[in-house]
Chains A and B, each alone.
Chain A
Amino acid sequence: MTERARAGTRWFLAAVAVVTIGLLGHGRAPPDRRTGSDDPTRYLRGGAAGFARALAPRVFSFPADHGAHGDFRSEWWYFTGHLAGNSRPCVAETGGDRAAPEATTAPASDSTTLRCRHGDAGRGTRHPAQRRPGTCVQCDPAAAAGRHFGFQLTLFRFELAPTAAASSSAWRTPRIMLGHFALSDLDRARFHHEERLARAHPALAGIRSAPLEIYLDDWSIRRLPGPTERWSLRARGDDAAIDLELTATSAIVLQGDAGLSRKGATPGNASYYYSIPRLAAHGAVEVDGASQAVAGRAWLDREWSTSALERSQRGWDWFALQLDDGANLMFYRLRDATGAGAPYSAGSLQHADGRVEHLAAADVTLSVTAWWRSPASGARYPARWRLAVADAGLDLDIRPALADQEWRGRLRYWEGAVTVSGSRAGRGYVELTGY
């Protein structure tokens, strides 16, 4: 995307994705990209008839609400996180029944060891694509020591119409799945990202329930059965792959008004939004064919809606920070055309003891202290922030862990790992759209 994007929030991603694949228009004319006179978000606003709207707070029920809400037009499962190479060697163990990598220590700890099935440990020469689900990746302890990664795995669901037409063909479906996977190799300063797009089809992409699995080709997000929040993530790009198991170490946070996150003044311009701000992650990362055991922390954002954006909204800056004292902070700033923060910017602060404070725009002071210009796209992004929440005694200095974490594909935005210092230390993820 070379033209300047004009929308805000992840809804920007959703809107632009949909417009780019040119599918939503009930009006048949594609947007005029040269003049930029067409606001992509209009495609999400129009044609919502027949879909449910996020109008009032609702009662959430888990694990059911982890699954799809097909009566809303868009939905996503958005994982981000930080991983570090494990300094302890992999243990090759015989007779293990479990095929997937498995934690040997308490999930709450960031320090985990990976066990690989004996038979698979030495099969590093197989082509990655041939690896069957459940097969352990090869462990390479020497390469793993001390390396740091950021990752993002998102699967989006879009419905083109509220109902599906009857057909003998499995392709006659209104459901489209879009996947974004990125791996930031922080030590080698490389950013790998890959996009997948497919119609929902039993063999290709879609959402299965009981147990929940959102899948797109060989990418998958699965919730492992049981009362605890355990998730399994797999994704493989051209030269990077992840295979992770996540276990929640924090409670679910319902964002906004008991899960109703309003993005604008128009009724219904809102989403249902909850997060699991902290999950312990462990598993394996593969970069350039070499695989290594990793462990770290992840964040899950879940959101579904039919329309969300106001026309005046231009972009958003989203922060998901995990502080070392156990607190988790989410804040998004919606920007209008002047670049100023919009009134519907909001967030939440989850304390280590589980208490959640909801943050309004006025509760947070956010200023950009440095900028970075992408050499590839020429776009200029904020590259350092001061974020203060006076009531909570927070004054944070946020810096990208790697300058260039710009998505360049069908969509252009910046989403990357950041480090936090100041009154508290920590790590997190930031998303910048509309620059």
Chain B
Amino acid sequence: MTLQQLASLRFLRRHRAQCLLAVSGVALGVAIVVAIQLVQAAARQAFDEALHGVFGRATHVVRAERRDFDERVLATVRRSAADWQPLAVLEGPLQLRLADGRRVSLRVVGIDTLAMPLAGATAAFPPGPFLREPGAVVIGAATAAHLGCAAGTSLTTTAGRPVEVLAVIPPTARPLLADGVALADLATAQELLGAAGRLSRIELAAPPGASSPPAALQADLPAGLIVEGSGAGAAGGRQLTRAFYTNLDALSLLAVLVGGFMIYNTMAFFVVQRAPLFARLRALGVTRRAIAGHVAFEAGVLGLLGGVLGDALGVVLARRLAGPMAQTLADHYQSTGLAALALPPALALGGVLLALATTLVAALAPAWQAASLPPGQALVSSTRRAHEIANLRRAGWASLLCLVTGLVLLGATTRSLYAGFGALAALLLAAMLAVPAVVGAALRALARRAAGRLPLPERLALQSATHALARIGLAVAALMAATATSIGVGLMVTSFRVSVDDWLQQLLRADYYLAQEDAEQAPPTIGPDFAAAIAALPGVAAVSRVRRLEANLADGDRARVTAYDLPPAARAGFRFLDDTAARAWPAWLRGEAVFVTEPFAWHHALRPGERVVLDTPCGRLDRPLAGIYRDYGSERGAVAIAWSLYRRCWGDDRAHGIGVYPAAGGAQPALRDRLDALAAGAAPLAVWSNAEVRARSLEVFDRTFAITDVLTLVAAVVAALGVFNALLALHIEHAREYAMLRATGFSRAGLRRTLLAQTAFVAAAAVSCAVPVGIAIAALLTEVINRRSFGWSMQFAWQAQALAVPAALAFLAALAATVYPAARAAAIPPAAALRHD
């Protein structure tokens, strides 16, 4: 170890608090990136598992249009496709009550144990008891950790049935069980789920050389059952989840930006703080290269420490995020939950490399700068200031460049999501680069106008703030970026929520809705007689009916088709993008035209007047697109057809749901009771008032976006920590000035007040910048990112809370971050600080 390295280590040791800050800064930056990547990978894996079957080998799947079907179908499948290793699966949610009173939901995946691929599985758990013992389940390590149980633990369902954890599969073994999944034998699953005789799907694995299942299989399947490639399902599913990943990508991008700035900021502080030392070393004859090497060594040590710590922290953070994420996946995608959040080596290494690379880059630039000053000059503060002004100017040009890049990206593309993200990143970067200069200008302007009227400590603070900016500019930029992003995402979510709520209110024209409990894919059970009986109830003016269908599009994609039987009152629920589309109602009612939802039109690049071609049971249906209506119900979108067309083409008259439109002055409470009574007769129907539907929809919505709240909060905390770090550095640099102030009669409290005010001015200016930038981000998210990924348009909603809360939070966080550094700086005895010279 060279003398310089020893000197470095001694420096690091003597500045333990600073080291800790630097390392924690690096670690936080890495942690955010790692956590988001982890959660994202887990979500993706969970989804892929859902696609490729329990053992990841399914190439095709037999499923019903409904969620489950009669298990006797398995006999047909085994006969027609014996060499496709049919695996019967029943899947469903199971509520457990834990010993500590917690209620948790597991997803039971029941398999025909004898048909499961045995290689490896028998090593992980004993198939004998698995098959024989009622209630026996096998779970993954992550689930065991969440439930706080181990192999041999007995659990109880909320219905009082015993569940025994037979084995816990370590993440390294197979089958890889996603978090929240309990693997069970089919008998156990049927018993636990109360679904005797039912299957969710039959997974098939193509034998070598075969690509499509025997034609006989499809021919032999009972009506309502289909066999499809898990690839085909994957295409639809991928499209579905792509939108979800888009959200994550956006957050990941934010994390990298904030994390990167965080690291840069920390390291730059670490180096600049010692600019005089480096200058002295240079004066003593140490080469520039040697100083750079010296800094690189330190950066390496800190980066490595921070990276490793960040990896660990990232896993912890990911676990915190996994909860809301898993719920979101379950709400929207019937996913089996998240896989075990184990840190893959590649990601761990990536985290450390990110830390190392960023710290090195962050440290070397300032170090090189410090080292490149002629030895004497670094000691003279005016030279440094000139240098900083040059830096500001350079940042201004870079900002302009980013701005132009962002605008070009936006202007030149209309559909590319990546271009949208690129533009978002470029514009945010432009804002960040411009922040120190803008804040500086604002503070100078303020100083000119108001300084005279302020008390001395505040006046001093205002005037010194512009100088401080050079040092804490980066931290301020990061603070601004985090605040702006919080504002932007908050505004976007608010707008989105307002749009959805608005849409729901518009859509929910009926007073009551009767829907099948297991609605998503279940076969319809509401016959025309039942609908007629509802319509005949006193106080009911009309009923609407809805039936969910699926059909192949001309391009092979599978599309949702919704058949509506709409009384005039219900038609008002459709809000068309183009109001003139309402004129097409008569043609639509006759089945001569179709409507599509906005996302559908976006994904298939359809415009009114173009043709929509569907493969239906009565052949190819080719209809003009008469109107595009708003719908946030599905990311994939749907085609709306008239009931008459459905009846004609699908030869069916049954519905999934009914809307009840009351006559004027109908006695509502009595009506509800009657509906409840009728629905109780028709087994799986639930009665919802329109207020309940709306409340439940918004609840799901809020849960979906809970994760964005968590992440923006984390970003804000990180930014505040950056401010804290930067202020400490600032105060160390300015210790001599403060000592002078103290020496000339400033009290300790007065100095504290000055320093607090200084930060307050800077933070206020930064947060003020964050507001317009945040609005711009919100606009980009709603108009560009969401539209390009989901196809949804939404009205922009101004909500003071979405603006004020992040701004106030950031301001307070920055102030809080000031308290300790200010108190510390003020506490240094002036004599001690001055003696250095």
Q: Could you list which residues of chain A lie within 8 angstroms of chain B, going by C-beta atoms?
A: 20-26, 28-30, 127, 129-130, 160-161, 165, 167-174, 176, 194, 196-199, 201-204, 217-218, 238
Contact = CB atoms under 8 A, between A and B. Distances in A.
Contact of A130 (B74, B134, B216): B216
B71 A203 contact: yes
Given A130-B220, A160-B131, A161-B132, A196 B126 contact: no
13 contacts: A22-B122, A22-B126, A23-B128, A23-B131, A127-B216, A167-B191, A167-B196, A169-B186, A169-B191, A171-B186, A172-B191, A199-B112, A201-B71
B336 interface: no
Given A130-B220, A160-B132, A203-B74, A25 B126 contact: yes
B467 interface: no
B114 A165 contact: no
B190 interface: yes
A169 B126 contact: no
Given A23-B132, A30-B123, A204-B75, 10 more contacts: A25-B128, A165-B134, A168-B190, A169-B187, A169-B191, A169-B196, A169-B197, A174-B132, A198-B78, A204-B74
B75 A217 contact: yes
Residue of A129, A176, A201 ringed by the most chain B CB atoms within 10 A = A129
Interface stretch (B48-56, B79-87, B387-395): B79-87
B386 interface: no
B159 interface: no
A198 B132 contact: no
Nearest to B79: A218
B219 interface: yes
Interface string B71-115: 110110011111100000000000000000000000000001011
Nearest to A410: B118
Between B128, B187, B217, the greatest number of chain A beta carbons within 10 A of the residue's beta carbon is seen for B128
A129 B191 contact: no
Given A23-B131, A167-B134, A204-B78, A130 B219 contact: yes
Nearest to B123: A30
B127 interface: yes
B109 to A, nearest CB: 14
Contacts of B217: 129
Given A21-B118, A129-B79, A174-B132, A28 B126 contact: yes
Contact of A168 (B81, B185, B196): B196
A196 B72 contact: no
A21 B118 CA distance: 8
Nearest to B126: A28
Residue among A24, A168, A197 facing the most chain B CB atoms (10 A cut-off): A168
Interface in B193-244: 194, 196-197, 214-217, 219-220
B60 to A, nearest CB: 16
Nearest to B192: A169
Contact of A129 (B72, B123, B185, B214): B214
A217 B83 contact: no
A198 B85 CA distance: 12
Nearest to B215: A127
A170 B197 contact: yes
B74 to A, nearest CB: 7
Contacts of A196: 82
A28 B187 contact: no
Interface residues of B, number: 37
A24 B122 CA distance: 12
A167 B220 CA distance: 30
Contacts of A197: 114-115
B214 A170 contact: no
Interface in B112-166: 112, 114-115, 118, 122-123, 126-129, 131-132, 134
A44 B296 CA distance: 69
Contacts of B216: 127, 129-130
* Closest 10 A/B residue pairs (Cβ): A171-B187, A169-B190, A168-B196, A127-B216, A28-B126, A172-B187, A203-B72, A203-B75, A22-B127, A129-B80
A199 B130 CA distance: 14
Most chain A CB within a 10 A radius of its CB, from B80, B129, B132: B132
Given A28-B126, A30-B122, A217-B82, A199 B74 contact: no
A98 to B, nearest CB: 23
Contacts of B197: 169-170
A160 B75 CA distance: 22
Nearest to A171: B187
Given A30-B126, A204-B75, A129 B220 contact: yes
A217 B190 contact: no
**In terms of DSSP, what is the predominant structure of the interface of chain B?**
helix
Nearest to B72: A203
Nearest to B132: A160
Given A129-B220, A204-B75, A218-B79, A171 B185 contact: yes
B128 A22 contact: yes
A338 B322 CA distance: 61
Contacts of A170: 71, 196-197
Contacts of A25: 126, 128
Nearest to B70: A203
B741 to A, nearest CB: 77
Contacts of B187: 167, 169, 171-173
Contacts of A26: 128
Given A22-B118, A28-B128, A30-B126, A172 B134 contact: yes
Interface string B312-336: 0000000000000000000000000
Contacts of B112: 171, 199
A170 B185 CA distance: 12
Contacts of B190: 168-169, 171
Contact of B79 (A22, A30, A171, A217): A217
A166 B718 CA distance: 58
Contacts of B129: 28
B191 A168 contact: yes
Contacts of A129: 79-82, 214, 216-217, 220
Contacts of B74: 203-204
Given A169-B186, A171-B190, A172-B134, A21 B127 contact: yes
Contacts of A198: 78, 114-115
A249 to B, nearest CB: 32
A291 B127 CA distance: 40
Nearest to B124: A30
A23 B78 contact: no
A22 B129 CA distance: 10
Nearest to A194: B82
A129 B74 CA distance: 14
Interface in B4-36: none
B614 to A, nearest CB: 29
A172 B192 CA distance: 12
Contacts of A165: 134
A430 to B, nearest CB: 28
B370 to A, nearest CB: 63
B70 to A, nearest CB: 9
Contacts of A202: 72
A173 B190 CA distance: 13
B164 to A, nearest CB: 13
Nearest to A237: B82
Contacts of A173: 187
B62 to A, nearest CB: 14
A160 B220 contact: no
Contacts of B215: 127
A427 to B, nearest CB: 30
B306 to A, nearest CB: 45
A170 B112 CA distance: 12
A160 to B, nearest CB: 6
A167 B75 CA distance: 21
A43 B191 CA distance: 28
Nearest to A217: B78
A218 B132 CA distance: 26
Contacts of A168: 190-191, 194, 196
B835 to A, nearest CB: 75
